[in-house]
């Protein structure tokens, strides 16, 4: 984001005087130098209000009465922004847009459509309403006042404040506001750069050190030493050097926070407002400090108020710098399927995560009858369809809503099947017996998919397979299933429970077929003979890019039996043994932790945790007490059980557990919250805490501040 223009109404000193930055339509002057007159200093605050974000303004510590000319009327700020896609706006959104901010005397702030075209720039698109997300990345702006103070051991780097965005501008309005703790920040940056060797942090620290040395004469080479301590390093700086480094380190900290996934965060665009930096920067080093800041943040726009003498000292080379304005981007074209050719059969895959075998068999049948076939996903509304077959595997609210919309559109022309809508409905036997049409899903490439056996005799209380499929039985041979291919995604519910399991595995091993047992293998049925054969089968992941074994472990009742069976296979880390563990049905926290602890003890094993989702006809979760008296102790142990893979699925479990902990105890478990936000979505932590993991409405910021899409 860059700020191009501002037109205030009812401002105390600026009244309705327009302000515009120096731009030639393709570029923007990087440094806009204002005077130190009260009106220009008020203008800087008005610019900060426009950039801070309307959902956050009620939490900014500013004196509204000092900015209003007529305190009975709202303050209106019409402003023009240059927007960077996809950082600030989605592709296809205007690159130059006008918005209007209205602040009422009681502090309410709303962003409204600017009916008058509101902009000093005729190319700006009016009626624009910025979406700030969590406030971390979009429309990035910092603002600094003339009196700077820093935290000393009290800084919060964990985003515990859901309105942390206002801290980026607080010092401009409040002399008591604190900037980043320099020692804490440098220590954290050094750890990520030197100890963890993270490229963005390392490059940031190196640039900071080099420029501080070249422009400010700071002996910063030792900051790159592995064992450097920054309490001592900061004390060694002169007081004047500490003062000029405070806003710089604060800016770098917030730039890094706002760009956690960028390789060169210091090269990202944004706006920095400064009120009288010449007051905290000694006259002898002011020009050097300006050049230092200019090079450190090459794509930042600066708007600065300065005394007359300081303005003369700004280097001519800095004054001449321009920033390229973002060009308009085009939204990716939406794929709109055209009208169906007469006689075409439409197949709709509502929610399958794998190619839908039933639709593939239907496709084969239709093609053999001379009918053309078209496959579409999720929702598809095409005119001209006289035969529509829809399959829904899951009975989630989203899938049910899609099916309802499709029914309303296609009416009697559509037939619906799948376990998400009907457990009993089957393809006619003559169609079920057909080979699958692999051409229906080109993404299969050289992979086959289907069943050798169907059904299961275990009758687990959470499972509808026995009800839907009946006892385990043979339904196909390997040759017709493979159709000449050498890779097989096997959908069998419990192949090891079939009497012919040994022969089937032996055939796979002998023919060197690579197999993905995507529905997992039940180790309780593994004998020593079956283990010897299974070890010879090329077990792979779904993409067939690496070895992968898929097992299930849905309770903790037979762990000794599972350990013995796993030991028969002699698996190690390179074999990638994944255990699918269901939660949320009938296991307690103690039992879940017991399973995770057990799996961590198996060589090469890791976990994929999956929440129980009742499907049509399936039982509801059992009414059990998830927590016992040792809940806190168990959670403390849980977060120390780390697996080398699939920790994203474990994070989903942490969030599920955290929400239920809050529902049960009316508070959050702090260690669990720390773990959830240690690496991902750190900027959402404050809102998460304020809403008790979503168990109560979060009124800490306006509801318009939706999550960032990144």
Task: Write the burial class of residue 167 (CB in 10 Å: 0-12 exposed, 13-18 middle, 19+ buried).
Answer: buried
What pLDDT does 710 receive? Answer: 34
Model confidence at 699, pLDDT cuts 50, 70, 90, reads low
Mean pLDDT of 441-464: 87
Cα angle for residues 563, 647, 260 (degrees, 5° grid): 165
Same domain for 285 and 392? no
DSSP strand E in 481-541: where? 487-490, 514-517, 538-539
Mean pLDDT of 520-532: 94
Residue 671 lies in a domain: no
What pLDDT does 701 receive? Answer: 62
pTM, to two decimals: 0.86
Residue 688 lies in a domain: no
Q: Is the pLDDT of residue 704 over 50?
A: no
Q: Is the pLDDT of residue 702 over 70?
A: no
The residue that leads in pLDDT, 10 or 328, is 10
Question: Could you tell me the CATH number of the domain that includes residue 491?
Answer: 3.80.30.20
Model confidence at 122, pLDDT cuts 50, 70, 90, reads low
Q: Is the pLDDT of residue 124 over 80?
A: no
Task: Write the burial class of residue 66 (CB in 10 Å: 0-12 exposed, 13-18 middle, 19+ buried).
Answer: exposed
Same domain for 386 and 358? yes
Contact of 645 with 580, CB cutoff 8 Å: no
Q: Which of 324, 358, 392 is the last residue of a domain?
A: 324
Q: Is the pLDDT of residue 118 over 70?
A: no
The Cα 319–Cα 29 span in angstroms is 8
Same domain for 94 and 182? yes
Mean pLDDT of 286-298: 97
What pLDDT does 117 receive? Answer: 47
Helix (H) or strand (E) holding 388: strand 388-391
What pLDDT does 423 receive? Answer: 83
Cα 398 to chain centroid distance, Å, stands at 21
pLDDT (tens digit, 9 = 90+) per residue, 185-201? 999 999 999 999 999 99
- What are the tokens at 462? 């959470």
Task: Write the burial class of residue 580 (CB in 10 Å: 0-12 exposed, 13-18 middle, 19+ buried).
Answer: middle
Which residues are CB-neighbours of 138 under 8 A, at least 6 positions away? 1, 87, 88, 130, 131, 132, 708
Model confidence at 500, pLDDT cuts 50, 70, 90, reads very high
Residue 663 lies in a domain: no
pLDDT (tens digit, 9 = 90+) per residue, 355-386? 999 999 999 999 999 999 999 999 888 887 88
Same domain for 312 and 369? no
pLDDT (tens digit, 9 = 90+) per residue, 62-93? 898 899 999 999 999 999 999 999 999 999 88
The Cα 429–Cα 89 span in angstroms is 53
- What are the tokens at 551? 């097992």
CA distances from 700 to 134, 235, 316, 666 (A): 12, 38, 45, 18
Contact of 645 with 680, CB cutoff 8 Å: no
Residue 455's nearest CA partner among 439, 438, 442, 474 is 474
Q: Is the pLDDT of residue 527 over 50?
A: yes
Instruction: Supply the angle between the helices 528-536 and 559-569 in degrees, to the nearest 10.
Output: 50
Q: Is the pLDDT of residue 706 over 60?
A: no
What pLDDT does 103 receive? Answer: 94
Q: Is the pLDDT of residue 465 over 80?
A: no
The Cα 694–Cα 691 span in angstroms is 5
Q: Is the pLDDT of residue 570 over 60?
A: yes
What pLDDT does 145 receive? Answer: 96
DSSP string, 428-466: -HHHHTSPP-GGG-GGGTTEEEE-SEE--SS--TT--HH
pLDDT (tens digit, 9 = 90+) per residue, 235-284? 999 999 999 999 999 999 999 999 999 999 999 999 999 999 999 998 89
Same domain for 268 and 125? yes
- What are the tokens at 608? 């994929």
CA distances from 407 to 348, 386, 474 (A): 12, 13, 35
Helix (H) or strand (E) holding 97: strand 96-103
Task: Give the residue carrying structure tokens 């004998």.
Answer: 527
The number of domains in the chain is: 3
Same domain for 409 and 275? no
Residue 152 lies in a domain: yes
Same domain for 400 and 540? no
Percent of the chain with pLDDT over 70: 96
Residue 665 lies in a domain: no
The Cα 425–Cα 705 span in angstroms is 45
What pLDDT does 679 receive? Answer: 84
Range of the domain at 383: 345-431
What pLDDT does 121 receive? Answer: 62
Residue 606 lies in a domain: yes
What pLDDT does 120 receive? Answer: 55
Contact of 299 with 269, CB cutoff 8 Å: yes
Q: Which DSSP category does 536 fall into?
A: H
Q: Which of 292-306, 311-325, 417-431 has the lowest mean pLDDT?
A: 417-431
Q: Is the pLDDT of residue 114 over 70?
A: no
Contact of 273 with 172, CB cutoff 8 Å: yes
pLDDT (tens digit, 9 = 90+) per residue, 209-245? 999 999 999 999 999 999 999 999 999 999 999 999 9
Q: Is the pLDDT of residue 100 over 80?
A: yes
Q: Is the pLDDT of residue 112 over 60?
A: yes
- What are the tokens at 687? 């809102």
Q: Is the pLDDT of residue 296 over 60?
A: yes
Q: Which of 228-232, 436-440, 461-465, 550-554 has the lowest mean pLDDT?
A: 461-465
Q: In this structure, how many other beta carbons lie within 10 angstroms of the beta carbon of residue 629?
A: 7
Q: Is the pLDDT of residue 436 over 60?
A: yes
Same domain for 195 and 263? yes
Model confidence at 36, pLDDT cuts 50, 70, 90, reads very high
The Cα 289–Cα 96 span in angstroms is 31
Model confidence at 113, pLDDT cuts 50, 70, 90, reads low
Same domain for 210 and 350? no
Residue 126 lies in a domain: yes
Q: Is the pLDDT of residue 661 over 50?
A: yes
Same domain for 493 and 522? yes
- What are the tokens at 77? 């700020």
Same domain for 450 and 517? yes
Mean pLDDT of 128-151: 92
Q: Which of 627, 654, 681 is the last residue of a domain?
A: 627
What pLDDT does 385 receive? Answer: 81
The Cα 478–Cα 135 span in angstroms is 55
The Cα 698–Cα 513 span in angstroms is 53
Residue 96's nearest CA partner among 268, 329, 370 is 329
Question: Could you tell me the CATH number of the domain that includes residue 298?
Answer: 3.40.50
Q: In the β-sheet with 31-34, what is the strand arrangement from edge to edge?
A: 31-34, 300-305, 270-275, 141-144
pLDDT (tens digit, 9 = 90+) per residue, 618-628? 778 888 999 99
What pLDDT does 386 receive? Answer: 80
Most confident range, picked from 384-393, 656-665, 674-683: 656-665
Residue 6 lies in a domain: yes
Residue 350's nearest CA partner among 397, 408, 392, 413 is 392
Same domain for 371 and 243? no
Q: Which of 410, 431, 452 is the last residue of a domain?
A: 431
Model confidence at 708, pLDDT cuts 50, 70, 90, reads very low
The Cα 88–Cα 402 span in angstroms is 31
């Amino acid at each position: 984001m860059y700020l191009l223009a501002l037109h205030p109404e009812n401002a105390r000193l600026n009244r309705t005087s327009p302000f515009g930055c120096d731009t030639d339509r393709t570029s923007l002057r990087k440094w806009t130098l204002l005077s130190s007159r009260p009106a220009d200093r008020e203008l800087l605050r008005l610019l900060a209000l426009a950039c801070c974000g309307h959902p956050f303004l009620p939490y900014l510590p500013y004196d509204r009465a000092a900015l209003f000319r007529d305190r009975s009327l709202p303050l209106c700020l019409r402003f023009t922004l240059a927007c960077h896609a996809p950082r600030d706006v989605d592709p296809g959104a205007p690159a130059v847009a006008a918005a209007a901010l209205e602040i009422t005397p009681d502090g309410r702030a709303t962003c409204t459509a600017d009916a008058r075209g509101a902009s000093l720039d005729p190319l700006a698109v009016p009626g624009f309403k910025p979406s700030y997300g969590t406030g971390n990345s979009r429309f990035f702006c910092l603002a600094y006042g003339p009196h700077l103070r820093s935290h000393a051991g009290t800084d919060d780097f964990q985003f515990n404040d859901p309105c942390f965005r206002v801290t980026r501008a607080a010092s401009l309005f409040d002399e008591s506001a604190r900037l980043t703790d320099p020692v804490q920040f440098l220590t954290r940056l050094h750890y990520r750069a030197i100890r963890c060797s993270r490229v963005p942090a390392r490059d940031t620290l190196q640039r900071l050190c080099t420029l501080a040395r070249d422009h400010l004469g700071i002996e910063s080479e030792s900051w790159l030493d592995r064992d450097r301590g920054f309490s001592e390093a900061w004390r060694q700086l002169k007081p004047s050097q500490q003062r000029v480094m405070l806003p710089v380190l604060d800016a770098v900290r917030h730039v890094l926070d706002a760009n956690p996934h960028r390789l060169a965060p210091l090269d990202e665009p944004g706006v920095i407002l400064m009120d009288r930096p010449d007051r905290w920067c000694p006259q002898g080093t002011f020009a050097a400090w300006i050049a230092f800041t200019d090079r450190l943040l090459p794509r930042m726009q600066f708007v600065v108020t300065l005394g007359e003498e300081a303005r003369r000292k700004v280097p001519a080379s800095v004054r001449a710098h321009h920033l390229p304005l973002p060009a308009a981007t085009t939204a990716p074209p939406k794929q709109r399927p055209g009208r169906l050719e007469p006689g075409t059969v439409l197949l709709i895959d509502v929610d399958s995560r794998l190619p839908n075998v039933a639709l593939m068999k239907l496709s084969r049948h239709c093609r053999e009858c001379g009918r053309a076939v078209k496959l579409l996903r999720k929702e598809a509304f095409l005119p001209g369809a006289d035969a529509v077959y829809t399959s829904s595997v899951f009975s989630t609210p989203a899938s049910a809503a899609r099916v309802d919309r499709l029914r309303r559109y296609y009416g009697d022309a559509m037939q619906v099947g799948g376990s998400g809508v009907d457990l009993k409905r089957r393809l006619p036997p003559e169609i079920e017996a057909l080979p699958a049409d692999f051409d229906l899903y080109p993404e299969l490439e050289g992979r086959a998919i289907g069943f050798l056996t169907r059904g299961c005799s275990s009758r687990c209380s959470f499972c509808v397979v026995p009800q839907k499929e009946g006892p385990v039985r043979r339904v196909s041979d390997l040759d017709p299933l493979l159709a000449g291919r050498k890779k097989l995604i096997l959908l069998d519910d419990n192949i090891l429970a079939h009497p012919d399991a040994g022969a089937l595995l032996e055939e796979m091993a002998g023919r060197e077929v690579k197999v993905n047992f995507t529905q997992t293998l039940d180790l309780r049925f593994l004998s020593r003979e079956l283990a010897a054969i299974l070890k010879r089968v090329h077990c792979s992941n779904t993409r067939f890019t690496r070895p992968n074994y898929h097992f299930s472990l849905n309770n903790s009742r037979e762990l000794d039996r599972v350990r013995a069976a796993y030991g028969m296979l002699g698996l190690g880390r390179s074999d990638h043994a994944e255990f699918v563990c269901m939660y949320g049905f009938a296991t307690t926290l103690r039992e879940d932790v017991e399973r995770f602890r057990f799996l961590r003890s198996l060589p090469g094993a890791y976990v994929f945790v999956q929440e129980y989702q009742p499907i049509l006809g399936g039982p509801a979760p059992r009414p059990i007490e998830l927590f016992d008296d040792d809940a806190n102790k168990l959670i403390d142990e849980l977060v120390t059980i780390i697996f080398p893979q699939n920790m994203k699925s474990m994070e989903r479990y942490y969030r599920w557990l955290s929400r239920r902990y809050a529902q049960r105890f009316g508070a959050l478990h702090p260690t669990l919250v720390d773990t959830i936000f240690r690496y991902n979505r750190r900027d959402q932590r404050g809102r998460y805490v304020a809403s008790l993991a979503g168990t109560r409405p979060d009124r800490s910021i306006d509801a318009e501040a939706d999550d960032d899409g990144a």
